Every structure is written in C-alpha cells, then in structure tokens.
Chain A
Amino acid sequence: MTIDVRLPTVLRQHAGGQAIVQAEGSSIGEVLVDLSRQFPTMSDQLLTEKGELHKFVNVYVNDDDVRYLDKLDTKVEDGDVVSILPAVAGGDG
C-alpha cells in the first residue's frame, strides 16, 4: 500500500525539496527501505548498516513513536501518515 511520509527539513534536500512523499510498504521497515530505494542519499540518515533505525531519528505512525510499538515491524495501513523527525539535543556540557 502507499503511505504518506512527512519529511523534516533536513531530509527534504534528498527528496527534491518535498515535504511529503509517498512510499510503499505494509510495515515501517518496508516503508523506510522503499524511501531509501527512491532517495538513495537519504538511506544512511534513516537506517544503520545493520538495517536498524538510526538512533538520531524518530519515526511516528500517526502520533505513535514506533520505538514503543514494534519498531521496524510496526504495521501501517491505508490512511496512516508516517512522520520522520531528527532527535534534537545538545547542551553546554
């Protein structure tokens, strides 16, 4: 199925400036692999060499963080919206 994926500004440069793209898949893992196929330069921003979700990236199905669901095995259905956001952190330490 085709899922809408919302991209943060940092990833839009890899997708021709688009804020929302479409990807195929029935799980988050499949959606991210399809995104990487469509936009190869985005790949290493999303997944590690081991195929795991990069620790500096948060992925949501609608409003739910997939790390608290089934991670990359989290199912997606027609009408779901996937959001990808970078982890934002820092400090003077």
Chain B
Amino acid sequence: MIRITENRLTAIFAHCLSGLPYEACGLISAKDPGSEDILGWYPTENVANSARYYTIDPKGYLMADKDAESRGEAIVGVVHSHTHSDPYPSPTDVLQAPDSTWHYIIVSLRHTFPMLRSFRIESGNIQEERVVVIKK
C-alpha cells in the first residue's frame, strides 16, 4: 500500500500530462525504503524523449537523491506514464525494475482522465498494491 496526498497526486498527473506526447517520469521519496507514506515527489526529465520508453535523467536522480537524503528520506520508487496503454507494468518495466523494495507507480493517459496504479516488482513477479489518497 502507498499513502499519498491529493496535492501530490495532482502534481504527478500534471507532470505526466505536461510530458505529452512523450512518457513522463519522476521519483518519490519516503522516510525509509519500503515505507508506505510518500513524502516527496521529484519530477524528472525523460531523457529517452519517447512516447513508448522512459529513462530517468541520471543527474535529476542524483539531485533528487541528495535532496531526499538532506530531509532524512530516501528515494523509494518511480512514477512513469503510459501514453497509450493501461497502467500496468510492461515487460520492459519488469525487466528493468531496479529494486524490489520500490513502489512502481504507473499513470495511464490512455483515456480522458489519468488513471494511476502502483505495483511492487520482485524477481519478475508483479504485485499490485493499494493506493490511498489523503486529503491535505
């Protein structure tokens, strides 16, 4: 499960929509690896510049990682958009998932309104997790 504020969710949707026609991506932080309470959102550049693939800008990742560390947090997951498909991990997503403790959040822009789902990916196995939106 993840818990995320409504404002942060809106910021994620806005970043994904602003990235069109390409996939958009970013990183999330929390107090500890595996923590359910998402405390930070770091939009990053998709340096793949593609509607079908994303690559987190490595320098953006470094800056996000250092900022999270300065606040006593850690990067605990990645967000990316699927521009034309459902919010479910693709074979590429599974193959390249770097960390089994991470949350893998996917935002589908296939329909009129963005749809968000979150997953854990461990040894190629996909497990969906609940997303709880907090009003703040």
Q: Could you say which of B4-12, B49-57, B128-136 contacts chain A? A: B49-57
Give chain A residues whose Cβ lies under 8 Å from the Cβ of B53.
Answer: 89-91, 93
Known: A60-B62, A87-B55, A88-B78; 18 extra A-B contacts, CB below 8 A, are A6-B69, A9-B33, A9-B102, A10-B99, A58-B61, A63-B62, A86-B99, A87-B56, A88-B27, A88-B56, A89-B53, A90-B53, A90-B93, A91-B53, A91-B82, A92-B82, A92-B92, A93-B52
Q: Does B84 contact A (CB under 8 A)?
A: yes
The total of chain A residues at the interface (CB under 8 A) is: 21
Q: Is A47 an interface residue (CB 8 A)?
A: no
A90 x B99 contact (CB < 8 A): no
B75 touches A90 (CB 8 A): no
A83–B93 alpha-carbon span in the complex (Å): 24
Q: Which of B72-93 contact A (CB under 8 A)?
A: 74-76, 78, 80, 82-85, 89-90, 92-93
* B102, closest chain A residue (CB): A9
Report chain A residues within 8 Å CB of B126.
Answer: none
Assembled-state Cα–Cα distance A64/B69 (Å): 18
* Interface class of chain A by DSSP: mixed
Closest chain B CB from A93 CB (angstroms): 3
Report if B21 contacts A (CB, 8 A).
Answer: no
